Amino acid sequence: MQNKKINNLIKISLIALISGFIFLFIKIQVGLLFIFTYLILGIFLNIKYPKELKKFRENANKFAKENKERKFLNKKYSIVHIDGINVAENNQKCTLTISPINVIFTDNDNNVLDEIEFSKIKNVRILQQIEQSQKEKSPVYRAIIGGVLLGPVGAIVGGLSGLTSAFKSDKKYYIEIERPEPDDNIIFTGCNKDIQELNKIISKRVSMELKKQ
């Protein structure tokens, strides 16, 4: 009964807050009154029911976290297989899908190439490869810029500075899924954003499975 009362008070305070922001654009006095009501209810709840309010916040955060994780389930990621899947070639384009219990690799025709249960994964590692490429600067372009800024002398200086070279670094990320048998480890890559996202999701699922054991 008490929990129901607290939930109702929290709902009223949230409605007051939302209404306050809406009415700020319609009638400021009414908007401020709603916001003031929200603040009063918030202070009352923190003083009268601190433990219950703390539990409510924890449950709300847990629900938000689970809901965020749920959107990644059954999402399809485009990856490139490097090693570990016997029926797949090196550098073969595949699709990776995360289900609640496992990781599924499929080819472009949706044929299953491999499946790994989270409980069978020993570890997940993200690997980084840095490629450096030499980038030549144009002496002509530098001479033009130097001439515009400093005149004839600047053109000479600008042209000479163009003879230098710069190195450009490109990072490439890979994931290695470690199985009980080292020879069965799977390595794959993809766009860096997806790889970093997958590393977090798979690592968390594996960690949850280890806690159950």
Per-residue model confidence (pLDDT) at position 157: 43
Which of 27, 42, 70 marks a domain boundary? 70
Does residue 7 have a pLDDT over 50?
yes
Per-residue model confidence (pLDDT) at position 42: 83
Segment 92-113 shows an average pLDDT of: 92
Distance CA 202, CA 122 (A): 11
Answering whether pTM is above 0.75, one says: no
Backbone angles phi, psi at 166, to 5 degrees: -125, 155
Burial class of 45 by CB neighbour count within 10 A (0 to 12, 13 to 18, 19+): middle
The answer as to whether 125 is a domain residue is: yes
Specify whether 99 is located in the same domain as 182.
yes
Segment 4-14 shows an average pLDDT of: 78
Which of 70, 85, 105 marks a domain boundary? 70
Higher pLDDT, 142 or 24: 24
Does residue 149 have a pLDDT over 60?
no
Specify whether 26 is located in the same domain as 65.
yes
The answer as to whether 195 is a domain residue is: yes
Distance CA 64, CA 155 (A): 60
Specify whether 66 is located in the same domain as 80.
no
**What is the CA 200 to chain-centroid distance, rounded?**
8
* Band (188; pLDDT cuts 50, 70, 90): very high
Does residue 26 have a pLDDT over 90?
no
Specify whether 63 is located in the same domain as 104.
no
Does residue 134 have a pLDDT over 70?
no
The answer as to whether 149 is a domain residue is: no
Burial class of 130 by CB neighbour count within 10 A (0 to 12, 13 to 18, 19+): exposed
Distance CA 98, CA 199 (A): 12
The answer as to whether 177 is a domain residue is: yes
First to last CA, the chain: 38
Specify whether 23 is located in the same domain as 82.
no
Specify whether 47 is located in the same domain as 61.
yes
The pair of three-digit structure tokens given for residue 124, joined into one six-digit string: 């997940």
Query: What domain range is 174 assigned to?
Result: 76-130+170-212
* Band (133; pLDDT cuts 50, 70, 90): low
CATH number at residue 99: 2.30.29.30
Specify whether 99 is located in the same domain as 41.
no
* Band (6; pLDDT cuts 50, 70, 90): confident
Specify whether 82 is located in the same domain as 57.
no
The answer as to whether 155 is a domain residue is: no
Does residue 189 have a pLDDT over 90?
yes
Specify whether 42 is located in the same domain as 83.
no
Does residue 155 have a pLDDT over 60?
no
* Band (112; pLDDT cuts 50, 70, 90): very high
Specify whether 108 is located in the same domain as 187.
yes
Q: How many domains does the chain have?
A: 2
Specify whether 37 is located in the same domain as 99.
no
Does residue 146 have a pLDDT over 60?
no
The answer as to whether 143 is a domain residue is: no
How high does pLDDT run on average in the chain?
78
Specify whether 81 is located in the same domain as 45.
no
The answer as to whether 144 is a domain residue is: no
